[in-house]
Amino acid sequence: MKLNATVHELIGASVLCWLATADTDGFPNVSPKEIFAACGDDEIIVASIASPVTAANIAANPKVCLSFVDVFRQKGFKIKGLADSLDPSHAGFAARAATLQALAGPKFEITSLHRIKIARISRILAPSYSQYPETDEAEMIASAYATYRVSPVE
Ligand SMILES: Cc1cc2nc3c(=O)[nH]c(=O)nc-3n(C[C@H](O)[C@H](O)[C@H](O)COP(=O)(O)O)c2cc1C
């Protein structure tokens, strides 16, 4: 399964993702991650900075689901796949860590990351888009600005 340009663009526009994992008994765990990116067209990478349960679950059970939403456009994607964890001893670590380090800035050193090989991708849309087909993005953005009491920086 490949990421297309729309998914790439929305990853860049989404401030947070939510990474869901499960332990060997199937108990779910979900937590937010800000430092995440696409790596090529078939992988998502996530910084493992302060997420011990996520890391332990991935070690025990690689099946994960990651979702992200552009809160202004109110659109996003849900990605399911198989995850593993890379540390500096892994040959693929340095290039991926550099991508995440650029997002994190100097405050956090990326010493571990999760790599998610993408199996399935599906859209997430606010219900207004499906239930009121005349809804357009500009209207949703204006409504989100009002909800969050923010306005765009000129
Ligand atoms: C806004 C926000 C962004 C975060 N970004 C990350 C991140 O990129 N990587 C990380 O490991 N933890 C991040 N965290 C911290 C974890 O979500 C948090 O420590 C959580 O309790 C970890 O839970 P877990 O061990 O069940 O995954 C972030 C938390 C918040 C509130």
Map out the domains of the chain with their CATH numbers.
5-148 (2.30.110.10)
Q: Report the first-to-last Cα separation within the chain, whole angstroms.
A: 37
Q: Whose CA is nearest to atom 14 of ligand 1?
A: 33
**Burial status of residue 77 (CB atoms within 10 A of its CB: 0-12, 13-18, 19 or more):** buried
The pLDDT tens digits of the residues spanning 17-66 come to 999 999 999 999 999 999 999 999 999 999 999 999 999 999 999 999 99
Side chain identity at residue 63, one-letter code:
K
The pLDDT tens digits of the residues spanning 86-140 come to 999 999 999 999 999 999 999 999 999 999 999 999 999 999 999 999 999 999 9
Q: Is 104 in the pocket of ligand 1 (CB under 6 A)?
A: no
Q: Is 29 in the pocket of ligand 1 (CB under 6 A)?
A: yes
pTM across the whole model: 0.96
